[in-house]
Amino acid sequence: MFMNLAHRGASEYAPENTLASFYKGIEMGANGIETDLKITKDGVIILFHDNELNRTTNGTGLPSDYTWEELQQLDAGGWYSPLYAGERLVSFEQFLHYFGRKSVLFALELKDKFIEEQSLYYIEKYGVREQVTVTSFSYDNLRAVRAKDATIKMGHLIRHIDLSSIEQVKEINCQQICPATEFITAEGVALAKAHGLEVRAWGAFSEALMHKALSCGVDGMTINFPDKLSMALASK
């Protein structure tokens, strides 16, 4: 089945990486959720994209300078709309508590180093292994995951597909390659598939880019507006 992955949730319609955004993504027809994993000062894995708290909360500075207790006091929704004021940051464990039993896919992007062990621990604790793809732009992060887990599904986030990127991901047994939509070509997608890789696009920030990725034959994509992708898939 095509992977319609709500990017930080349905982040076009609700504040990214909040429960509101994740629930909206599923309501809108996504069959998976993409989110970003980082670590707090006291070692709690949270779902947060930016380097700093400034854009998407009423806090400032690095999340890793605060404890989870402190971060839970922040408003992670008011920046987006007063309708969402009071939305909180979400820990990875809270996320798995709410979504782990649903039949949804999880594209988990490791944004920090040295969080693979704890991330894998919660994946096992909540029994979601078969739903998960661990992703990263960092090859080193993925290599660290593979060293700890020989089989969990992994996807490498890259800019464009070529033979060397394919060889690199195969070296650490990534099952998926994730090119930027901007640079996708049908030939690149076909080449990756011929090497046995699944192709999942990122960065489809407009409907035109979404249609481009679809026309190149990808197996899935992260998308801020999963409702529009659902409609496009239904009309195919």
Residues that bind Ca ion (CB under 5 A): 36, 109
- Both tokens of 157, joined, read 């986030």
Q: Which of 4, 18, 22, 34 binds ligand G3P (CB under 6 A)?
A: 34
Residue (23 or 137) nearer to Ca ion, CB:
137
Residue (5 or 19) nearer to ligand G3P, CB:
5
Residue (134 or 214) nearer to Ca ion, CB:
134
Q: List binders of ligand G3P among 94-113 (CB under 6 A).
A: 109
Shortest Å distance, C-beta 9 to Ca ion: 11
155 forms bridges with which residues in the sheet?
Answer: 135, 176
Q: Length of the chain, please?
A: 236
3-state helix, strand, coil split of the chain in percent (to 5) is: 40, 20, 45
Residue (36 or 198) nearer to Ca ion, CB:
36
Query: Residue 191 CA to chain centroid, in angstroms?
Result: 24
Shortest Å distance, C-beta 236 to ligand G3P: 22
Burial zone of 66 (CB within 10 Å; 0-12 exposed, 13-18 middle, 19+ buried): buried
Cα separation of 188 and 211, whole Å? Answer: 16
Shortest Å distance, C-beta 201 to ligand G3P: 8
- Both tokens of 189, joined, read 């997608």
Shortest Å distance, C-beta 48 to ligand G3P: 10
- Using alpha carbons only, how large is the chain's radius of gyration in Å? 17
Q: Does 202 bind ligand G3P (CB under 6 A)?
A: yes
Residue 222 touches which member of Ca ion, ligand G3P, none, C-beta under 5-8 Å by kind:
ligand G3P
135 forms bridges with which residues in the sheet?
Answer: 109, 155
Q: List binders of ligand G3P among 69-98 (CB under 6 A).
A: none
3-class SS of residue 52? coil
Strands in 16-147 per DSSP E: 32-39, 45-47, 105-110, 132-136
Q: Which of 3, 4, 7, 174 binds ligand G3P (CB under 6 A)?
A: 7
Site string for ligand G3P, 203-222 (x = CB under 6 A): -------------------x
**Could you list the residues that contact ligand G3P (CB under 6 A)?**
7, 34, 36, 49, 109, 157, 202, 222
